[in-house]
Each structure stands twice: as structure tokens, then as C-alpha cells.
Structure 1
Amino acid sequence: MLTFDTANDLANPLPLAQALIRRPSVTPVDAGALDVLEAALEQLGFACRRYPFGEVDNLYARRGTASPCFLFAGHTDVVPPGADADWQRPPFGAEAEDGLLWGRGAADMKGAIAAMVASVQRFLDAAGEPNGSIAFLITGDEEGPAIDGTKAVLKALADEGEQFDHCLVGEPTNPNQLGDTIKSGRRGSLNCTLTVTGRQGHVAYPERAENPIPPLLTLLGRLMARKLDDGVSPFQPSNLEVTSVDVGNPTTNVIPATATARFNIRFNIAHTGDALSQWIRDEVAKSDLDFDGRVEADIHVTGEAFLTPAGAFTTLLQDCVEAETGRRPALTTGGGTSDARFIQLYAPVAEFGLVGATMHQVDEHVAISDIETLTAIYTRILTRYFQDHPA
């Protein structure tokens, strides 16, 4: 387990960011990353608890018991780096050169975790004990199925009576420069696999077969023909995207027995996962009426759309970012999903972290100056939060 010589070491985010990056914590393997973080947080006076579920380990840490409780959430797991030879520098080497920190997880999101730890140290040095509590919820399953991570820990914490007043997620929300955007909501996501099962036969004798391809194409056509919405401010329009159509038929003279298709729907707050699922099932039922076979839909809603309305909390975040960067970040809801989709069921949540231009890419890196600025932003957020106690 990594330790630091003095508490002052924690006020500098770079050594902790490097220590975290050097743990090759590719989902669901932790590789000691949470041990590193736990040691740092214990040094800051946090009471730490581990929550293992399945193959995934998770960490919850809290300093104080009073309200309000400010929760920082994130993940130490990372996506695979690919071939080491494709990287200019070792993906888990955490090399700091020419003002840049290199390595898998530098942007997404070990750099932000280190910045928040450093900001707690700076806040305590300047302000002393907070008028409330600070907590960390760090998972090892954000880049994976997201079943045994934040979602599972939040339920366990709720069963234990833990409550949070507001949450900040350290995802890399800025597309180009620090201060671009704060995520104040996310679209929901639904995945569906359609499987049409007919009866195999010779193409010259179609009456002896039941071709699954036409009903699949008809069903897909009906689903794609629906305009889901025109967008609901501040969300973009919902969209259905077909990602695969497969038959697996290597011949030219055989009608296949099955045909499958997969699609994803990214939906805004005009819809719910249940309503969209029911619409798909209704369309599947119509396909069954004129087809002597089976049409099945395997539907998984991996997150509901949500919005944290603009208000005291989001304004506080914007003010703090603007004070350190000179740019007032826009409140946005675009992009993919994050663990904020689970947290929003327990507390108002927003997301702000580093620049994500290289996340999930070969040669992932961030500017060391951005990690320092993010630390200053997070310190300012903690200071303002415990002064203002936003509703």
C-alpha cells in the first residue's frame, strides 16, 4: 500500500495521480489502486470502508457525520490500453514530461481523483473542519457493466442509513479546455437485441421455409420510422441507432433459420426506459401476427435520462470554475452515460473534471497545469459549499 511521508504531500495532486496511474486497474481488476487511494484518505482522517461485489472492489470514505454531506464520486478502473508498442510512453508509466502527465486513466479519471484529494488537504489547511461532511465513493466498475460498482454500493449505503446532500462526479467533462462544460444531466440508454426465428429451407422452395429476414427488416423499419422527439431543453433529440444486422448465412441458396439485429436508443427526459421498452414490445407483437415463427426482443435499460435543474448548486459550481479559469462553463447534457445516472436517485448531481480529448485513446494524457487548476477549482467548491450550503 502506498503511503506518503507527510500530510503536506497530499496537497500536491501529481504524486497521487502518478501512483494511481501506475496501478493497471483495467476493469474489473483493481491492481491496488483502491489501496493507494484508501491510504491517502485515511491520512486525511477519512473512515474508509470497502464494498466488494462480484469481481469488483469499491471504496467509500467519509470524514465527519454531520450534514450537509458533499460527495465526490468517480472510478479507478480504466479501459484496456491496447498494445504498449502503440504508445509513445508506457501506458501505466505515469511519466510527467514537458508539462504533460501520460498514462491510461490520466484524464478518465485518476487525475481528477487526485485533484479532489489534494483539494481536501488544502481546504482543511485553510478552513479547518468543515461545517458538515465530505465523502468519496470510488468504484472499480464504471468502465464495465456498472452492475457491481456505484449502483450496488449506493444501495448498500442507503440500507445503512447513509445520506448525501449533493454530489460532484469527476468525469472529464471538458471537450477542449478546462472550464468548457459542466454536465448537469445525461440522456438515458436502452439496448435491444431483436431475434427472429423462422424455418430454414431451400430458396427454390420458399413455401417449405419461413424466412426470418423480411419480418426483421419490416420491424426495424417501423422502429426507425418513429420520430422520438424534437429535443427537450436542454437535451438534444432522442435517437435510435441500429448497430448490427446479422444473419450468419454463408450460402446463396439457403433461407436461414434466424436473423438478429441490435440497436441503441439514447433518450431524453421526454421518455422513460419502461415506456420505450413497452413500445418495442408492442411493435414486436404486431410482427408476430403475420409470421409463422418467433420474434423476440431482449431489452436492457442501462440508465434513465435525468436533469439536475439549474439552481444554487450548479451556479456555485459555475462560479468556482469561472473564478479559476476565466471561463463560465455551460451546463450540458450531451455525451454518453456515467455513474451519475445512479447517483441522481439519491442526491442532486453534476459532473466536472479534466479535459477528455484523449480519454480511451492511445497516448492518453493531460496537462499537469490542468490538474493543478482543477485542484484549485475543487478547493474553491468545497470552501463555497460549506459556507453557502446550497439547497
Structure 2
Amino acid sequence: MTASVPVDPVKLSAELIRCPSVTPEEGGALVLLEGLLKDAGFETTRVDRGGVSNLFARWGRKAANRTFGFNGHTDVVPVGDPADWAHDPFGGEIIDGVLWGRGATDMKTGVAAFVAAAVDFVTQTPPDGAVVLTITGDEEGPGRDGTRALLDHMAEAGERMSVCLVGEPTCPEEMGDMMKIGRRGSMTAQFTLRGKQGHSAYPHRANNPLTAMVRLMDRLACHRLDEGTEHFDASTLAITTIDTGNPASNVIPASARATVNIRFNDAHSSASLTKWLRGQAERIESETGVRVEMAVNVSGESFITPPGDLSALVSRAVEAETGRRPVLSTTGGTSDARFVKDHCPVVEFGLVGKTMHQVDERIEVALIEKLKAIYGRILTEYFA
């Protein structure tokens, strides 16, 4: 490909799918993109940290007054058993207008679309400002050394985005039906309850941690955290595992473990929820005499980019290309927007995500072309 010829986002998507970039492997995806962007006049920097590969690219002046940023990832989840796939998960095959392979929705196609749109835009109509692309190989992994590393690099190098669009798949049913203006927070709490082992025929000589665990889990699961807020649905708590590792039916175990995951809105913080969880644990301790240990891991806090100029710009472009005005949503899991929001206003818009993380992940090629057109329209209007 050359910068003077429009970049085909479908061809680029297929080439990216053929790079086996299962987290944390780079697989050649960022090498491919860096070469294309350099040829188009972008300044590129590999920002590799902790065994993770990332790419920063900028066209235009550093820290320009108007800098539009895109963020996305080229790492993908494992394919499972390749024999379960109808087509090679790393083949990038196009059959009857459909592109097949791991990353076809989440989100090598999104990256290909914004790279193609950005290259065409800066080469055909160079703007008065800058375009920045931050592409990570650690979105599907722990997330410690991906977009975080790119933002750390930008802070150290004096780089800046005025606004950012994350190209994650956001549409549940039809192209253009939803964009994300925020995300719920996510945290996981692991409980270990330690009682006293004993014979099940003499329960009075033991202190059963399972009895205390059942009581604790019931209280957590039955508690309604909130009724939802202006831009968010109600927060949720799910019990994801309870385990004792006890193979004997006539032994009361000495310990039990359980994990809960909470997806929370802006009525809470991880700190306030941790305090509530700890209070419930202490209550169980005092009632049962079973010792409760708790460990909390926070994936991200809830955040919102209030409806305004950025969401309106994206909505207009989506409606112009699809005929649909996207719903402004905060549903779904976490994304790297939770890191970008500390740097600049951020929204998310991308493809229909029905097959993401599934066997036979696939997308219609016409939608990839449509996504490039949407991103190109956004750039044109932003710099108009």
C-alpha cells in the first residue's frame, strides 16, 4: 500500500487477522501498521512495556491546539479449538461478503477502519492540527502495560489528544444503533472464610465456614445496590464461584472461598463498595465466629463523558452514513476508555459486536467500509 492510494480497510483488516496476536503476542500486527503509517507521514514510536507491544503514531505538530485521537487494540482472545471453526481463525478469509477470523469484530477491523480513515484524511486533505493513533496489544489482557503505557509515554513526551474516539464494537444489533459515552466500574472481591474442621455427625464440635459463607453470599446477592442513575442502569453484583475443595461428605471443612464481581455506576466508587463489603464481612464474623479475609481487585471506576460536542459530532457522522442516530449508552463491560478518560474527553463507536469472542467470529465487509466512512466524516467535520 502507498499513502497516495486510498487505504482499503477490508484488505487491511484481513492482513491484521492473519497476524496471530493473541494477548500478549504482537504477532506482526503492529509492525504492519507502523510501516503503513510511516509511509503516510506519521511519526511513530513503539512503546513496549512489561512484555507488551504498543504503538503511538502522530501526524502533525506535537500538542497541536486541535488533536483528534483514536484508540484501539490489535490483541485478541484465544481461539479455543481451531477445529471448531468453519474457517481458519487466522486466515482472514472473505467468503460471500463476510470476513472471518479472530478479531473480525473485536477489534482489528475497528483499528483498520480508523487507520485507513486517518491515512486518507491527512494525505488527501492535510488538516490544521494533528491526528494521534494509540494502538495497544494489551486490551484483552491485564491492561497494565497497554493503553496505560501509551498514556504514560504521552505525558513524558509532551504529547496530547484534545478528544479521543475508541473504536470498540459498540452496536448490539445494527450498524449505528449505539455509541458509548461512559462505562460502569468493575471490581472483584475474593472472600476466604476460616472456621474449624470437624466430623459432620458432630457439628457442634466444628465451626462450619460454609454456613457463614452461604449467609454472607445471600446477603450480598439480595442487596440492591441502587436504582440506576441518569446515564447508568442499576449496579449489579454476581457471585461467580464458591469452593471448598472438600471431597468428603462426612467432613465439615476448615475453609471456604467465594468470589463476587460488581459492575457499578456513578452512584458508587470502588472505595465505597469495598467499605460496604468489609462491613458485611465483619458482621458475619461477629455472628458466626468464622474469620473472614477479603481481597479486592479494581479493574476500573465508572465514568461518564457528558453529552456534548464530541458525542454530537460522532452522532451526526453516524446518522449521515447509516441513517440511524445512535443511542448514548454506558452498558457493557470495561474498555480502555476507562484509562483515556483521565487524559481527555472520550467516546466509543464501532462495529456490531454480535460474534466477538465467539467461535467463527465474523463481520460483513460492507460494515468495515461503512465504519471507515464514518471515521473519515468525523475527522473532516472536526477539523472543518
Coarse TM-score class (shorter-chain normalised): over 0.9
Kept in 1: contact 2:3–2:120 (CA 8 A): no
Of residues 25, 32, 49 in structure 2, which corresponds to 1:29?
25
Which string of whole-angstrom CA distances, capped at 9 and with x for unpartnered residues, describes residues 248-273 of structure 1?
21111111011111111111111111
Of residues 103, 106, 110 in structure 2, which corresponds to 1:105?
103
Counterpart for residue 135 of structure 1: 132
Q: Which runs of 4+ in 1 moved over 6 A?
A: none
Q: Provide the secondary structure at the position in 2 that maps to 1:78.
A: coil
Which string of whole-angstrom CA distances, capped at 9 and with x for unpartnered residues, describes residues 326-356 of structure 1?
1111111111111111111111111111111
Counterpart for residue 172 of structure 1: 169
Give yes or no for the alignment of 1:371 onto 2:364.
no
Paired-residue identity, %: 51
Paired with 1:117 and 1:160, the residues of 2 have a C-alpha distance of 22
Alpha-carbon offset, residue 85 of structure 1: 1.6
Which string of whole-angstrom CA distances, capped at 9 and with x for unpartnered residues, describes residues 232-284 of structure 1?
12211001111111122111111101111111111111111111011111222
Alpha-carbon offset, residue 8 of structure 1: 3.8
Change (3 A) 1:9 1:110: farther
Alpha-carbon offset, residue 289 of structure 1: 2.1
Amino acid at match of 2:190: T
Give yes or no for the alignment of 1:327 onto 2:346.
no
The 5-angstrom pairing of residues 162-201 of structure 1 reads 162-201=159-198
Alpha-carbon offset, residue 293 of structure 1: 4.0
Amino acid at match of 1:258: S
- Tell me which moved more, 115-124 or 165-174: 115-124
Alpha-carbon offset, residue 26 of structure 1: 0.4
Amino acid at match of 2:322: T
Give yes or no for the alignment of 1:264 onto 2:261.
yes
Kept in 2: contact 1:182–1:332 (CA 8 A): yes
Paired with 2:37 and 2:119, the residues of 1 have a C-alpha distance of 10
Counterpart for residue 309 of structure 1: 306
Paired with 2:70 and 2:154, the residues of 1 have a C-alpha distance of 15
The TM-score with structure 1 as length reference comes to 0.94
CA RMSD after TM alignment: 1.4
Paired with 1:29 and 1:351, the residues of 2 have a C-alpha distance of 25
- Tell me which moved more, 197-206 or 40-49: 197-206
Kept in 2: contact 1:29–1:56 (CA 8 A): yes
Kept in 2: contact 1:10–1:16 (CA 8 A): no
The TM-score with structure 2 as length reference comes to 0.96
Gaps of at least 5 residues in structure 2 are: none
Gaps of at least 5 residues in structure 1 are: none
Q: Provide the secondary structure at the position in 1 that maps to 2:26.
A: coil
Paired with 2:122 and 2:160, the residues of 1 have a C-alpha distance of 22
Counterpart for residue 351 of structure 1: 348
Q: Provide the secondary structure at the position in 2 that maps to 1:49.
A: strand
Paired with 1:151 and 1:70, the residues of 2 have a C-alpha distance of 18
Alpha-carbon offset, residue 9 of structure 1: 4.5
